[in-house]
């Protein structure tokens, strides 16, 4: 959350995101498939260890959490 409070120019501010999706309903197999797809996307954007970063490249953090949650009973 440090990023949210930091001063970034519009180019970087418009490139980043803090998002969540909490309305998914998946089976264990669907969740496993979703995670595999997301990991593949990140892998495609991960440079080789000996690759030179592009001009203006900065370190980027990508965080992913996906887990089941218990049904909430509304009384």
Q: Give the angle subtended at the CA of 59 by the CAs of 8 and 2, to the nearest 5°.
A: 50
DSSP annotation of 35: H
Instruction: Name the most confidently modeled range: 4-8, 26-30, 64-68, 69-73.
Output: 26-30
CB 45 within 8 A of CB 25: no
Q: What is the spatial distance between Cα 20 and Cα 55, in angstroms, rounded to a whole number?
A: 30
Decide which of 23 and 40 is more confident: 40
Q: How high is the pLDDT of residue 27? A: 97
Q: pTM for the whole thing?
A: 0.78
Backbone phi and psi for residue 60, each to the nearest 5 degrees, phi listed first? -125, 135
Taking the alpha carbons at both ends of the chain, their separation in whole angstroms is: 33
């Amino acid at each position: 959350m440090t990023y949210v409070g930091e001063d970034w120019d519009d180019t970087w501010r418009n490139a980043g995101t803090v998002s969540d999706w909490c309305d998914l309903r998946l089976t264990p197999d669907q969740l496993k498939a979703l995670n595999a797809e997301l990991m593949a996307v990140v892998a495609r954007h991960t440079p080789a260890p000996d690759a030179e970063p592009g001009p203006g490249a900065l370190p980027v953090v990508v965080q992913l959490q996906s887990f089941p949650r218990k049904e909430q009973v509304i009384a």
